[in-house]
């Protein structure tokens, strides 16, 4: 099998990092305060095994029960647990492709097979997806919403009809959901009450500026959460420091929501400015844009040129994506530098 190839993570600071969809704003003052208040003695004991205090805070935030939530060491741990819990090696998982490439790495590691159903040209969900999933006896299907790498958003109604017809477990990977325009009123949470087969993934990495902490959670009916919580996850899968800081972040949700608003504003401005450079991208509900590079320019050359100038973006050498760049929305001055460099590189 091949492993997952993550975006570059340079060690020194003087690089503009627009390649791994991190939030350009730092975690809020409540997190900084909780970090400063940590006492070394608190590390002597094991952490709360199911992060109950954090689950309660998240349950209040979302209007659900703590039993509907499992806390994991990043979304990636939840994805791995989902396979370990609900899929046997002789069974099949699926996704609407292209999407998060970790899914196939996890399938290969688990020894199960994987189906890819191509998204439509406008990045919307494939037609008759539920029927095709059922015909292929798919046990678990991952749908990223808003979609990565395009930023397209499927409606909660579309997901509900998929959940209703699909016989397996539907995982809606909402790693980027915090950046959706509130005016769209997107909310997939009611699906966990309506259907026994829907589980949502949420992450602290992007929305809460805590990618370095490795915290995420699954939301679902108790029947899906319990086996993850009490059977397959490690007893102490998230550490005391991460639980404490994530709790502080949830306690100051307004700060995080302020960063989402700033990212949305920058997204609109950057998309317009890129399109003025003939770098068009589909409307994005996420914190990145998938930019098409027009001939005679080449996406890989622009990626390399930007890298030489100290700006990292993501280039995928994959069919359907190799003429595009995925660019994370940065802070205003980062986006300005990106635009200047792109303008310069495209003059040649
Ligand atoms: C679509 C998608 N799902 C899940 C994740 C996992 O995020 P994390 O493990 O940082 O919570 C990512 C990370 O980039 C992602 O892009």
pLDDT tens across 162-173, in order? 999 999 999 999
- pLDDT at position 4, please? 87
Cβ of 77 below 6 Å from ligand 1: no
What's the gap in Å between 345 CA and the centre of ligand 1? 31
Q: Which of 147, 149, 175, 177 to mutate to test the pocket of ligand 1 (most atoms within 8 A of CB)?
A: 175
Are 335 and 30 within 8 A, CB to CB? no
What's the gap in Å between 287 CA and the centre of ligand 1? 13
Q: Give the residue from 108, 95, 149 showing the smallest Cα distance to 284.
A: 149
- pLDDT at position 2, please? 87
Measured from the CA of 76, which atom of ligand 1 is nearest? 9
- Measure the CA–CA gap between 330 and 262, rounded to whole angstroms: 10
Nearest CA to ligand 1 atom 2: 175
- Measure the CA–CA gap between 272 and 217, rounded to whole angstroms: 34
What's the gap in Å between 251 CA and the centre of ligand 1? 22
- Measure the CA–CA gap between 15 and 17, rounded to whole angstroms: 6
Low-confidence ranges of the chain (pLDDT < 70): 348
Measured from the CA of 216, which atom of ligand 1 is nearest? 11
What's the gap in Å between 203 CA and the centre of ligand 1? 7
Q: Can you give the pTM of this predicted structure?
A: 0.97
Task: Supply φ then ψ for residue 299, to 5 degrees.
Answer: -55, -40
Integer-rounded Cα Rg, in Å, for the chain is 20
Are 141 and 99 within 8 A, CB to CB? no
Cβ of 248 below 6 Å from ligand 1: no
- pLDDT at position 158, please? 97
């Amino acid at each position: 099998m091949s492993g997952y190839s993550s975006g570059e993570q340079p060690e020194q600071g003087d690089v503009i990092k627009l390649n791994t969809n991190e939030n350009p704003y730092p975690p809020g003052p409540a997190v900084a305060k909780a970090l400063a208040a940590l006492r070394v003695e608190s590390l002597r004991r094991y952490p709360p095994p199911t992060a109950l205090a954090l689950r309660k805070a998240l349950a209040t935030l979302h209007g659900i029960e703590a039993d509907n939530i499992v806390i994991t060491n990043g979304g990636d741990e939840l994805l791995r647990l989902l396979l370990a819990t609900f899929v046997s090696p002789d069974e099949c998982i699926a996704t609407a492709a292209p999407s998060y490439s970790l899914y196939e790495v996890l399938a290969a590691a688990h020894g199960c097979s994987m189906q890819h159903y191509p998204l439509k040209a406008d990045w919307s969900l494939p037609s008759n997806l539920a029927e095709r999933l059922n015909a292929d006896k798919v046990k678990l299907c991952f749908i990223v919403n808003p979609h990565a790498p395009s930023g397209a958003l499927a409606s909660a109604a579309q997901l509900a009809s998929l959940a209703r017809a699909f016989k397996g477990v539907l995982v809606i990977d909402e790693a980027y959901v915090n950046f959706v325009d509130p005016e769209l009123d997107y909310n997939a949470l009611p699906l966990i009450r309506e259907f026994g087969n829907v589980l949502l993934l949420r992450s602290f990495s992007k929305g809460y500026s805590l990618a370095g902490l490795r915290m995420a959670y699954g939301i679902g009916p108790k029947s899906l959460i319990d086996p993850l919580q009490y059977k397959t996850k490690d007893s102490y899968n998230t550490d005391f420091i991460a639980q404490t800081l994530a709790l502080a972040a949830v306690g100051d949700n307004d700060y995080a929501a302020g960063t989402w608003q700033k990212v949305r504003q920058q997204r609109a401005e950057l998309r317009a400015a890129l399109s003025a450079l003939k770098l068009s991208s589909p409307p994005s509900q996420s914190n990145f844009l998938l930019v098409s590079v027009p001939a005679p320019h080449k996406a890989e050359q622009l990626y390399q040129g930007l890298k030489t100038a100290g700006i990292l973006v993501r280039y995928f050498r994959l069919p359907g994506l190799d003429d595009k760049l995925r660019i994370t929305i940065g802070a205003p001055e980062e986006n300005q530098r990106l635009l200047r460099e792109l303008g310069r590189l495209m003059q040649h």
